[in-house]
Structure 1
Amino acid sequence: MSRYRGPRLKKIRRLGTLPGLARKRPRSRRYILRSEKISQYRIRLEEKQKLRFHFGLTERQLLKYVHIAIKAKGSTGQVLLQLLEMRLDNILFRLGMASTVPGARQLVNHRHILVNGRIVDIPSYRCKPRDIITTKDKERSKALIKKYIIAPPHGELPTHLTIDPLQYKGFINQIIDKKWVGLKINELLVVEYYSRKT
């Protein structure tokens, strides 16, 4: 299954607020929901879908991250969130250099972003502590980011990131802490979903 390119508000209405997918918020629901019994499978599936659509991943990519998190030391759910939060496209989004994760992915694909002085055109590039993220010196690259970097970022800037808006430069101080994850999600339900599937 390929990356989702359909209507974004449809997914937000279904799953709740997904700041990485779109800045828009749906109108309040006018229809009355029928009282229906929600299965445990549906709860786990919706948590998995929230994670997938927020970070803009395909099913295969998310499954790959889950396998890496299972093999790593520590809590599988926490390691999974750290892996996803340290992706380059998500770091750009969290720094406020792009309005959404798909917008950040496009910046990376079009070769506007440098990591430690080198062009990186892979949105899933795994950033590490002490990485420096900048734009190219070209005016076009700076103009694309300028409109987003002037406005305050989406909520409070996490402690693992710092930004210098005058030089269009972001710094990664450390690996993200669980409380600074930009999505309200129960990551253990995602791990349970995949553990039952395999």
Structure 2
Amino acid sequence: MARYFGSKCRLCRREAAKLFLKGEKCFSDKCAIERRNYGPGLHGQRRRKVSDYGVHLREKQKIKRTYCLLEKQFRNYFEKASRMSGVTGENLLVLLERRLDNVVYRLGFSASRSEARQVVSHKQILVNGNCVNIASYLVKPGDRIAVDETCRNHLRIKGAMESAMRRSFPSWLEVDPVSLSGTFVSFPDRADLPADYNENLIVELYSK
């Protein structure tokens, strides 16, 4: 499976936004955005005039990189969202939030989405009591997601949950920190998703 192996902090600096790709580091003063709030590379501090296309592209790249997807995967989600009833942009965000690796991250079972993908692929996650090792598996309302009993004492998982408990959990999830399990209650509303996402720019970009 194709993956990005470069610097994650470089992606945040390129998008000039926190993508939360490095777990707890993103919430500390060691975050790259806090220390070097300009683009990466030799000419990162130059002021660039961004075209209309560039504005659309940067928004797509920001959301695509936040969910740790490559272009083909992201485009497939967009095409699926466009075939669904409702608003295409909102459908796209809901599909991304339904990915199992994202739900595992939101539940606090991992410190980042890339770590969540690893946890899922290593068969440490159960969905309705069955082992699922496909990160792109789409979770449905009512599904119960839990850490496998043999993995509940792993320090990385326990540490991630402790960090998540210091913050708030999404309203569309029910979390039991003691048993390291949770329920996907409902699809998230647009108001529950990050306000700095402008999904309409992505729709316009792919519609050109």
Question: What TM-score comes out, normalization by structure 2 length?
Answer: 0.86
Q: Give the % identical residues.
A: 37
1:185 Cα deviation (Å)?
A: 1.2
1:40 Cα deviation (Å)?
A: 0.8
In structure 1, how many angstroms separate the alpha carbons of the residues matched to 2:165 and 2:4? Answer: 25
In structure 1, how many angstroms separate the alpha carbons of the residues matched to 2:165 and 2:61? Answer: 24
Partner of 1:17: 18
In structure 2, how many angstroms separate the alpha carbons of the residues matched to 1:92 and 1:153? Answer: 14
Are the counterparts in 1 of residues 109 and 147 from structure 2 also a CA contact under 8 Å?
no
Residue 12 of structure 2 corresponds to residue 8 of structure 1: no
Are the counterparts in 1 of residues 174 and 183 from structure 2 also a CA contact under 8 Å?
yes
Please point out which of 64, 69, 81 is paired with 2:93.
Answer: 81
Alignment of 1:115-194 (within 5 A): 115-138=127-150, 140-143=151-154, 144-153=156-165, 155-182=167-194, 184-194=196-206
1:179 Cα deviation (Å)?
A: 2.0
SS in 2 for 1:11: helix
Number of residue pairs matched?
A: 194
Are the counterparts in 1 of residues 53 and 205 from structure 2 also a CA contact under 8 Å?
yes
1:153 Cα deviation (Å)?
A: 4.7
In structure 2, how many angstroms separate the alpha carbons of the residues matched to 1:7 and 1:112? Answer: 26
SS in 2 for 1:151: helix
Q: Relative to 1, partners in 2 of residues 1:160 and 1:141: Cα closer, same or farther, differing over 3 Å?
A: same
Partner of 2:109: 97
1:173 Cα deviation (Å)?
A: 0.8
Q: Relative to 1, partners in 2 of residues 1:73 and 1:141: Cα closer, same or farther, differing over 3 Å?
A: same
Measured against aligned partners, the alpha-carbon deviations of 1:28-50 in whole angstroms (never above 9, x if no partner) come to 34799444321011111111111
In structure 2, how many angstroms separate the alpha carbons of the residues matched to 1:181 and 1:59? Answer: 22
Q: Which amino acid aligns with 2:130?
A: R
Partner of 1:55: 67
Are the counterparts in 2 of residues 94 and 154 from structure 1 also a CA contact under 8 Å?
no
Q: Which has the higher contact order (CA 8 A, sep 6+)?
A: 1
Q: Relative to 1, partners in 2 of residues 1:89 and 1:183: Cα closer, same or farther, differing over 3 Å?
A: farther
Alpha carbon RMSD of aligned pairs, Å? 2.0
Measured against aligned partners, the alpha-carbon deviations of 1:38-88 in whole angstroms (never above 9, x if no partner) come to 101111111111111110111111000000011100000000000000110
1:182 Cα deviation (Å)?
A: 4.4
The ranges of structure 1 where at least 4 consecutive aligned residues each deviate by more than 3 angstroms after the TM superposition are: 28-36
1:149 Cα deviation (Å)?
A: 1.1
Gaps in structure 1 of 5+ consecutive residues: none
Q: Relative to 1, partners in 2 of residues 1:54 and 1:154: Cα closer, same or farther, differing over 3 Å?
A: farther
